[in-house]
């Protein structure tokens, strides 16, 4: 808004029927005192309210919305409300005129009553009031501006006091916070009059002082229920149609790929209920890495009302791999049972050794939100190694926080055998209970849910993400030697870089432990700085078996520092072969070349080539000098061979089909 223009405006004071003095603009004149007089009149007429400049002819606004807001505020301070009347449109300027009038402007149209029907006569508030503000849009220096071209503040009706004007429909607004509270109370079964009473009590105001009426609350609740019902009907129809499209996508994929597997259930109304699916590559990967499965249920679709469950694993390079997924309509034991049975059937009847899943989301969220300080202490307790220490520190912790009777904590404690590391020792987890793996899972799932799409598009995105994840090739990594212990050199030649690095870390730490042999042939292994915390390592020489009380090998499939310390003490230069699990070996890496070619090709040259390159990469990774040499010479020789092949004739007998599926 700008200051009043230099043009003069004649104003005329008139007394309204109610006895109040108001002013209105009649025409433009030459007096320079108009704006100050107008301001003073409005200030005097506002009955103690905050002073506000009255609109005047020539007043400028940036937009018609700004003008309407300003005029509305002026109206409220002066005992009436306004509405938008007419607008005019031109091809060049769009809407270029706006008429704002008093809410009692004009007259109600006469409605004809249908014969034989009784209608309640509702008296109209319109009485032909002539108070108004007309605007016109002009473009000044390329900028659109709205000018007041007519203004009248003469009313032919009584103007309202502050406690009355607030009840005009234009000012009876139910703010968003009140809307949420009203819906919550309505959902809880509160009648409308009780809802109004609750709001008054919560706001600490007297009855009838809310900025809206009881009938406004009633209309709001009824309208919202109607909208919800309509939306529910549309959403139900969309869910059913999209679910059928998803089922058709599964059928189409099965026709194109016989290794693709899927299944679904229907409810009592013959509607599709649950759907699960997996891919041929995922089933193949499961044969190698299906010993430990992570079942993630952290994503739920609000639009479709379904829970997404993903079965994931970890390969010999520590990467997340996809086994299968399911969409469930609910979270009942029956639904989860069907999902698990279907997954095992997809995996050809082979059950995993261990299935990990998230803590109950409701319990997890309740602890995070209601007990944030407890959570930090809990994270420390989670990693306590012995069950005795866990029980002692648990009792100390809940006493310190005064949580002995808290229902969330009691439920969490009842599940301790499923989440506390001290109780989980001995369960095979294959390094899935680590922060690194959790981040890998999160990254994979975010890729799946990168866009809000329909179920068919979601199905396609799952396939893309699973294919990329399962077929990604591991880049060659140089594995440095840190201890010069012969065991380390041997391990490097067998395990993948991921597994080697994990075992190497334990081997380095093993050198910080003292070992004492007991009379029965077992060993006590203790860190040189710690008096307590010793580990018992049992050695069975006849079978070359070793067992540590920390149970790290039983959990990850990789030997712990305590067992390695005993092997070093017993002058072992190589670990027994049984302690190199197949799932962590280099040769266990998945090959995703087209199975059809592998089955139908009579030539063995490709297999020989593949074995030769595997051996070359293995040998070259032993030292940096070897790796640099192979990289340099291989590039030169392969370029030479490629050029010679390209110079050969393209057609000579029957061409070989060497098409491969993508390898990432």
Domain boundary among 539, 565, 588: 588
466 lies in the same domain as 496: no
Long-range Cβ contacts of 171-174 (<8 Å, 24+ apart): 171/76, 171/81, 171/211, 172/211, 172/212, 172/213, 172/216, 173/211, 173/212, 174/211, 174/212, 174/216, 174/217, 174/220
79 lies in the same domain as 145: yes
561 lies in the same domain as 523: yes
CA 546/CA 14 separation, integer angstroms: 106
For residue 42, the model assigns a pLDDT of 42
Between 28 and 582, the more confident residue is 582
For residue 326, the model assigns a pLDDT of 93
Domain boundary among 435, 470, 505: 470
Residue 13 phi, psi (nearest 5): -85, 135
Token digits of residue 338: 């069907």
Which string of b and e fits 370-392 if b means at least 16 CB within 10 Å? ebeebeebbeebeebeeeeebee
CA 224/CA 234 separation, integer angstroms: 15
- Asked whether the beta carbons of 545 and 566 are under 8 A apart, the reply is no
507 lies in the same domain as 567: yes
Q: Report how far apart, in Å, the C-alpha atoms of 267 and of each of 49, 111, 273, 304, 346 are.
A: 65, 52, 6, 16, 22
Our CA dihedral for 365, 369, 373, 374, rounded to 10 degrees, sits at -40
434 lies in the same domain as 515: no
- Of the chain, the percentage scoring pLDDT greater than 90 comes to 29
Token digits of residue 105: 């402007």
495 lies in the same domain as 466: no
Q: Give the DSSP per-residue string, 424-439.
A: HTTS--TT-SSHHHHH
Q: How many domains does the chain have?
A: 3
Query: For residue 181, what pLDDT band results from cuts at 50, 70 and 90?
Result: confident
Residue 103 falls within a domain, yes or no? yes
| Mean pLDDT on 294-305 | 83
CA 574/CA 355 separation, integer angstroms: 33
- What is the number of alpha carbons within 13 Å of residue 406 lying toward its C-beta? 19
Residue 594 falls within a domain, yes or no? no
Q: Name residue, tokens 């079965």.
A: 311
Residue 350 falls within a domain, yes or no? no
Q: Tell whether pTM > 0.75.
A: no
365 lies in the same domain as 456: yes
| Mean pLDDT on 277-295 | 92
Average pLDDT of the chain? Answer: 79
User: H or E segment at 320?
Assistant: strand 320-328
pLDDT tens sequence across 311-320: 999 999 999 9
Between 300 and 365, the more confident residue is 300
CA 251/CA 274 separation, integer angstroms: 15
CA 246/CA 277 separation, integer angstroms: 11
Which string of b and e fits 36-46 if b means at least 16 CB within 10 Å? eebbebbeebb
397 lies in the same domain as 466: yes
For residue 596, the model assigns a pLDDT of 38
Domain boundary among 532, 563, 588: 588
Residue 266 falls within a domain, yes or no? no
- Asked whether the beta carbons of 589 and 496 are under 8 A apart, the reply is yes
- Asked whether the beta carbons of 351 and 342 are under 8 A apart, the reply is no
Local structure of residue 585 (DSSP, 8 states): B
Residue 428 neighbours by CB under 8 Å, 6+ apart: 291, 292, 353, 354, 554, 555, 557
pLDDT tens sequence across 530-546: 866 789 999 999 999 99
CA 101/CA 572 separation, integer angstroms: 98
Which string of b and e fits 167-176 if b means at least 16 CB within 10 Å? ebeeeeebee
Determine the length of the chain: 664
User: H or E segment at 545?
Assistant: strand 545-548
Residue 313 falls within a domain, yes or no? no
| Mean pLDDT on 199-228 | 85
CA 426/CA 560 separation, integer angstroms: 13
CA 326/CA 311 separation, integer angstroms: 9
CA 439/CA 446 separation, integer angstroms: 10
CA 431/CA 556 separation, integer angstroms: 5
460 lies in the same domain as 393: yes
547 lies in the same domain as 502: yes
Three-state DSSP class for residue 524: strand
pLDDT tens sequence across 547-604: 999 899 999 999 999 999 999 999 999 999 999 999 999 887 764 334 434 433 444 5
Sheet with 60-61, strands from edge to edge, namely 60-61, 143-152, 132-140, 94-102, 82-90
Residue 614 falls within a domain, yes or no? no
pLDDT tens sequence across 319-362: 999 999 999 988 888 999 999 999 999 999 999 988 888 766 55
93 lies in the same domain as 137: yes
490 lies in the same domain as 581: yes
Rg of the chain's alpha carbons, rounded to an integer?
39
pLDDT exceeds cutoff 90 at 29: no
Residue 481 neighbours by CB under 8 Å, 6+ apart: 488, 489, 492
For residue 572, the model assigns a pLDDT of 94
- Asked whether the beta carbons of 98 and 64 are under 8 A apart, the reply is yes
pLDDT tens sequence across 228-255: 777 777 777 888 888 888 999 999 999 9
Beta-ladder partners of 147: 60, 136
Between 136 and 371, the more confident residue is 136
Range of the domain at 146: 59-107+125-166
Q: Name residue, tokens 């990850």.
A: 556
pLDDT exceeds cutoff 50 at 40: no
The strand pair at 354-357 and 292-301 is best described as parallel
Token digits of residue 469: 């994840």
Residue 610 falls within a domain, yes or no? no
Residue 658 falls within a domain, yes or no? no
Query: For residue 630, what pLDDT band results from cuts at 50, 70 and 90?
Result: confident
- In SS3 terms, 590-622 reads as CCCCCHHHHHHCCCCHHHHHHHHHHHHHHHHCC
CA 62/CA 42 separation, integer angstroms: 23
């Amino acid at each position: 808004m700008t200051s009043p223009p230099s043009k003069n405006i004649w104003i005329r004071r008139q007394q309204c029927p109610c006895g109040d003095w108001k002013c209105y603009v009649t025409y433009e004149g030459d007096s320079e005192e108009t704006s100050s007089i107008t301001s003073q009149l409005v200030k005097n007429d506002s009955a103690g309210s905050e002073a506000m400049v009255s609109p005047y002819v020539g007043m400028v606004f940036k937009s018609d919305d700004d003008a309407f807001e300003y005029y509305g505020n002026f109206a409220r301070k002066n005992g009436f409300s306004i509405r938008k009347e007419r607008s005019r449109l031109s091809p060049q300027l769009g809407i270029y005129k706006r008429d704002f009038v008093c809410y009692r402007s004009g007259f109600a149209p006469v409605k004809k009553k249908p014969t034989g029907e009784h209608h309640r006569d509702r008296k109209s508030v319109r009485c032909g009031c002539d108070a108004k503000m007309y605007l016109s849009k002009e473009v000044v220096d390329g900028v659109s501006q709205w000018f007041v071209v007519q203004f009248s503040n003469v009313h032919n009706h009584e103007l309202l006091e502050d406690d009355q004007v607030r009840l005009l429909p234009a000012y009876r607004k139910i703010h968003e916070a009140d809307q949420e509270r009203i819906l919550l109370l309505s959902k809880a079964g509160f009648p409308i009059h009780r809802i109004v009473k609750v709001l008054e009590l919560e706001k600490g105001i007297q009855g009838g002082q809310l900025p809206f009426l009881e009938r406004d609350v009633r209309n709001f609740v009824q309208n919202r229920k109607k909208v919800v019902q309509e939306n529910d009907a549309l959403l139900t129809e969309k869910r059913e149609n999209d679910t059928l499209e998803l089922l058709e996508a599964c059928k189409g994929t099965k026709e194109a790929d016989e290794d693709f597997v899927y299944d679904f259930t229907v409810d009592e109304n013959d509607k599709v209920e649950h759907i699960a699916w997996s891919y041929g590559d995922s089933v193949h990967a499961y044969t190698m890495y299906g010993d430990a499965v992570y079942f993630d249920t952290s994503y739920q679709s609000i639009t479709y009302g379904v829970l997404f469950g993903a079965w994931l694993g970890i390969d010999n390079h520590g990467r997340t791999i996809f086994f299968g997924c399911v969409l469930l309509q609910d979270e009942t034991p029956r639904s989860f049972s069907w999902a698990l049975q279907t997954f095992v059937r997809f995996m050809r009847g082979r059950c995993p050794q261990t299935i990990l899943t998230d803590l109950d989301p409701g319990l997890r969220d309740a602890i995070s939100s209601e007990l944030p300080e407890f959570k930090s202490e809990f994270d420390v307790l989670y990693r306590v190694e012995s069950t005795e220490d866990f029980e002692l520190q648990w009792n100390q912790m809940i006493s310190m926080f005064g949580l002995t009777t808290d229902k969330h904590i009691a439920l969490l404690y009842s599940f301790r055998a499923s989440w506390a590391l001290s109780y989980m020792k001995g369960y095979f987890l294959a390094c899935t209970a680590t922060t690194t793996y959790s981040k890998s899972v999160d990254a994979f799932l975010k890729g799946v849910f990168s866009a809000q799409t329909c179920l068919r598009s979601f199905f396609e995105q799952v396939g893309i993400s699973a294919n990329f994840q399962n077929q990604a090739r591991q880049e060659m990594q140089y594995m440095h030697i840190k201890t010069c212990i012969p065991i380390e050199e041997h391990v490097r030649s067998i395990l993948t870089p991921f597994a080697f690095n994990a075992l190497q870390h334990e081997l380095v730490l093993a050198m910080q432990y003292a070992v004492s042999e007991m009379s029965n042939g077992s060993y006590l292994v203790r860190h040189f700085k710690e008096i307590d915390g010793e580990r018992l390592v049992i050695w069975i020489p006849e079978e070359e078996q070793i067992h540590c009380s920390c149970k790290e090998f039983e959990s990850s499939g990789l030997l712990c520092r305590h067992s390695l310390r005993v092997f070093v003490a017993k002058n072992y230069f190589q670990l027994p072969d049984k302690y190199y699990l197949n799932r962590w070996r280099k040769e266990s890496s998945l090959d995703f070349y087209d199975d059809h070619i592998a089955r139908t090709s009579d030539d063995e040259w490709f297999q020989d080539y593949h074995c030769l390159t595997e051996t070359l990469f293995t040998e070259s990774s032993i030292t940096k000098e070897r790796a640099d040499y192979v990289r340099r010479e291989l590039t030169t020789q392969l370029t030479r061979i490629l050029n010679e092949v390209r110079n050969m004739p393209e057609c000579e007998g029957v061409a070989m089909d060497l098409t491969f599926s993508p390898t990432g």
